[in-house]
Amino acid sequence: MASAAYSKIVVAVDGSSTSVLALAEAIRVAAPGGATVLALYVVDTGTLMFDVGYYDPSQLQKAFEESGKRALQDAAQQLSAAGVPHETRLVSEAAVPGDIGASINDAARQWGADLLVIGTHGRRGVRRLVLGSVAEAVIRQSTMPVLLVRGEAKAD
């Protein structure tokens, strides 16, 4: 490996157009120095409601996991096509239930990453305050550099 600024880069993917941009940026940063990229998908267990009658949360959990596997397969194909050494990881057990940001940070620390890349959805104003932001949670909790890749801004 060449002496690169970063040798282990985590990129959070979720199948969205914004995460596609984040993956492209991770490839752009990793490729020149031969860094290894970990494509990471965290299953959002915070949306599962286990106490609702006539509802099987295991089916929803399974659907989320399948979606994550597809997103990781797509990321692996793009990383392979770019010639970037990579791994993929599906996190289905949250480090902190309902906190995707904490799970992303935990997985990145465990893997020994020195850069974390994540897309932002470009929400502003009231939508950002109401919906929150995984990227914002990642930044607040991270112990390593975070590269934010901005998606298309959404009007309120």
pLDDT single digits (tens) 63-101: 889 999 999 999 999 999 999 999 999 998 877 777 899
CATH class of 8-150: alpha beta
Domain locations in the chain? 8-150
What integer pLDDT is reported at residue 36 of this predicted model? 98
Q: Residue 83's CB: how many other CB atoms inside 10 A? A: 11
What integer pLDDT is reported at residue 150 of this predicted model? 87
Q: State pLDDT tens for residues 134-150.
A: 888 899 999 999 999 98
Give, in order, the Cα–Cα distances in Å from 10 to each of 26, 39, 43, 70, 92: 8, 6, 16, 18, 17
What would the mean pLDDT of 106-111 be, rounded to a whole number? 96
What integer pLDDT is reported at residue 120 of this predicted model? 86
Higher pLDDT, 51 or 79: 79
Strand order in the sheet with 86-91: 86-91, 36-42, 8-12, 115-120, 146-150
Looking at residue 109, its amino acid is: R
**Over 50: is that where the pLDDT of 151 sits?**
yes
- pTM: predicted TM-score of the whole model, two decimal places: 0.84
Tokens of 71: 């997103």
What would the mean pLDDT of 102-124 be, rounded to a whole number? 89
